Amino acid sequence: MRDEDWDIIFKVHMRGAYKVTHAAWKYMRDQNYGRIVMTSSPAGVYGNFGQTNYSAAKIGLLGFAKTLALEGSSKNIHVNTIAPVSASRMTENVLPPEVFDKLKPEAISSMVTYLCHESCEETGGLFELGGGWFSALRWQRTQGVFLGMDKASTPEAVRDNWSKINDFTDPVYPSTSGEGIQAVIAHPQSKL
């Protein structure tokens, strides 16, 4: 991939979203009301072969939206993200015509309309949708393993605890970045 290919995608998706949001934010803040919907992609959420630049920009929009949701919460500015599977110029030569025809953008507009409505209290959400199907996505974290901050925390200790590190039997559903550090601080063996 050439630098130009990376830069143009970030210019369109990340900088474009930033510029539009930046222009509107002051007005939303001053009127104590606003609704913003960022458009990510399943390629950003899950990755997609051959789309490193696009996937990175699209997941970046989720981080942008999550932070704006936190910053706007005291001013009644709600910010959510959709990750639609939708027919577009980008997918018209990839999807079979019978699938392409079922993924028209009109099939996602009801979610966007609701997220922008004054009665919608959702903020910081991520929604995957397409073809009349709607779902919410969230992060999960395992209970994890505390290996300590000393010599016990070795690559071998990570290897030996790999099954516990990856055990989603009793997951935690974090919603802020601070919850990870809180888990470390609260752990009985932590000396922080």
C-alpha 57/C-alpha 15 separation (Å) is 10
User: Which residue among 46, 54, 114, 173 is the active-site one?
Assistant: 54
Tell me, yes or no, if 54 is annotated catalytic: yes
C-alpha dist (Å) from residue 121 to 22, 53, 73, 81, 98:
22, 32, 10, 14, 36
Output the CA torsion 118→65→174→129 (10° steps): 70
3-state secondary structure of 38: strand
> Helices in 36-108 by DSSP H: which ranges?
42-46, 52-72, 97-100
State the catalytic residues. 54
